[in-house]
A and B are shown apart, each in its own frame.
Chain A
Amino acid sequence: MLDRLTEYFFPKQVSTFAGDIDNLFFFIFYSSVALFFIVVFGMIYLALKYRHKKGEELELTSSKDHSNLLESLFFIIPLILVSITFVWGIRSYLKMVIVPDNAIEIKVTGQSWFWTFDYPDGGTTLNELVVPSNQPIKLVLSSKDVLHSFFIPVMRSKMDALPNRYNVMWFDATQEGVYDIFCTEYCGTGHSQMGAKVIVMKPAQYEEWANELGSDDDSVPLDELGAKLYTKKACNTCHTLDGSALVGPSYLQTSQMWGQERVFDDGTSTVIDENYIRSSILEPQTQIVAGYQGVMPTYQGLLNDRELDALIAFLKSLNEDSQI
């Protein structure tokens, strides 16, 4: 019964957390249906039972206008239901935001009106996101112009793509297939056509596909480009790759601290992530790492978005290299 209802209400469940979200839906759904029938049957029953029949005298009616028991029930029952909903909603939500460590990272860029996907091994696709099944995929979203929103109904996941910062979403596809992607933040004339497809392949098949894509070599992979920029943009003057401190903190150290807190000279701290790296390149004076001088110039205007992505990818790749 529930399965058939799920099929009727929802698109297929393809991500690992889709089932959980659908269950949450059905919990609220059944509670709501129950409350709704109480309200509507109560209403119809009372309205009919106490209807004013033709020819009946107008009378003084009951002065009853409260009942402590009922009133406390009005508070307590909805309160219990919404508390469960809230906690369930948050628990499921946390599953949706905590990206597994082994996730493959794909850069998603929205632009009026198409999506571009940059793969970790180099190569770019347009309006076709190809991913392996049973493998966490992390999408780092941004936009080149106005707001867009990246929505994969079968994964039950969605996130806005913004022009000035990165947003992250992830999923782990459980079934191979081709599924819809929609843009759900209004972005102008072509908004309704800004669809794409996600193609979920068996891992082996994906491997093959990715190799082929990489060998095309029409665009340099992000981290390789980053390695070039590292010297080309003179980052190496102040930041080393071997962990030793020069004028600024070493890339290796930053990379190894990925996801951890970094403390600044004013006592505040931030988790090292894409947004932090981006802002520390564009706004180096905002947060100065404790123990260093704030002398770095801003790179605003010197690096385009892809180059920023590249540097971030390069920095992140250092950590994995050292572990090998």
Chain B
Amino acid sequence: MSNHNSDSPKHLKHYFANVDQQYETSKFAMWAFILTEVLTFAGLFVAYIVFRSWYPDMFVDAHKLLDVNKGLMNTIVLITSSLTMALAIWAIQKNNRKLSLLMLIATFVFAFCFLGIKFLEYSHKFEVGQLPGEYYSYMGPEVVHLNNPHIFFSIYFIMTGLHGLHVAIGMGLIAWLIYATYKGNLSSEYYTPMEMIGIFWHLVDLIWIYLFPLFYLIG
């Protein structure tokens, strides 16, 4: 950020002394926000661990009802989107607005794919009644002997649902970035929003990296 020559570029807010301070502040606050997000999910991970230790058999058997292929696809999609997000930032740093725009659109499309696949997964679960809490009605042969399988699906839906919500919010932010980049508001001079949203997007990705093995793989 050393190449800011102009004294008061138009993106500099009046209450900051200079662009460096403004950039540093945003970045600092973003990391603090990431800390908050991590603790939000930490609460749910604790719930997962507690219930897993109480009902280990149920967790093992119930997890077999999840679709590993779809989960794996989603993992790949999301990791790729993280990569394209990083490329978008790299491109804007190089002042390659076109490439950056392309990469942002790719990220958006991948995010959309993720939610699409998630939608397919959810709708299947809705059909067969593998739902959280009182709405759980699935009584297939794999689960009849299980104790409280509805809790597994409660935790599954709450955690993936909250994560899905983050993906959706991320999509909204990326859509705004696409607009801003297209309009030319972002450049190698000023790309703080893209970097911040990038950090957020990597966090969303990272959380999924934990959710995937915990729900789909560990047996």
Contact = CB atoms under 8 A, between A and B. Distances in A.
Contacts of B145: 297-298
A286 B145 CA distance: 13
Nearest to B53: A286
B60 to A, nearest CB: 10
Contacts of A283: 54-55, 147
Contacts of A297: 145
Q: Among the interface residues A285, A298, A300, which one has the most CB atoms of the partner chain B within 10 A?
A: A285
A282 B57 CA distance: 13
Contacts of B55: 283, 286
Contacts of A282: 147
A300 B55 CA distance: 13
Interface string B48-62: 000000111100000
Nearest to A301: B147
Interface string A259-290: 00000000000000000000000110110000
Contacts of A286: 54-57
A282 B58 CA distance: 13
Nearest to B146: A298
A282 B56 CA distance: 13
Nearest to B58: A285
Given A286-B55, A286-B56, 13 more contacts: A282-B147, A283-B54, A283-B55, A283-B147, A285-B56, A285-B57, A285-B147, A286-B54, A286-B57, A297-B145, A298-B145, A298-B147, A300-B147
15 contacts: A282-B147, A283-B54, A283-B55, A283-B147, A285-B56, A285-B57, A285-B147, A286-B54, A286-B55, A286-B56, A286-B57, A297-B145, A298-B145, A298-B147, A300-B147
Interface of A: 282-283, 285-286, 297-298, 300
Interface of B: 54-57, 145, 147
